[in-house]
Structure 1
Amino acid sequence: MFIDIWEMRHVEAENAQKALKKQANDAQKEIDKLLGRILDATSSTLINTYEAKIEKLERDKIRLTEQADRCIPPRGHL
């Protein structure tokens, strides 16, 4: 019974990790889009706005990656 609960918890943690990694990948895709927009932009105000958004997304991506790394507990013995 405890082993089943332990395995269910591990599967839940793996699913949470996958979701966090997907969010980090989505943030990277958004960063890439904004970088492309910066190259096309001519307004310094617009460029500054894009840069601020990129900085926020980078912080979010780092946070999500760290959470994903801590999501799955080490396999131990019951």
Structure 2
Amino acid sequence: MEIKEINSTSSVSGQLNSLLIDCVESGASVGFLTPIDREEIESYWSGVESDLKSGKRRLFIAQDENAIIGAVQLSLCSKANG
């Protein structure tokens, strides 16, 4: 397993969509309800992409030989006293 930071979701969007769908369908409480609306999932990752580009968020993935097996996000504080 390798953990790395990625600066864009574009090349792995399909894997990130599948990972999030699997989490929700397995009962994870991550802000989405079943049945899952795939467009809502895609919109979510589009928003993450925007935050990555603007520097508001960082995204780390865990990857095995075949696929992304986990993801963690860090939302950076935008307050002056952070």
- The TM-score normalised by the length of structure 1 is 0.31
**TM-score where L is the length of structure 2:** 0.29
More strand by share: 2
If each structure's helix is expressed as a fraction of its own residues, which one has the higher value? 1
Higher-Rg member (1/2): 1
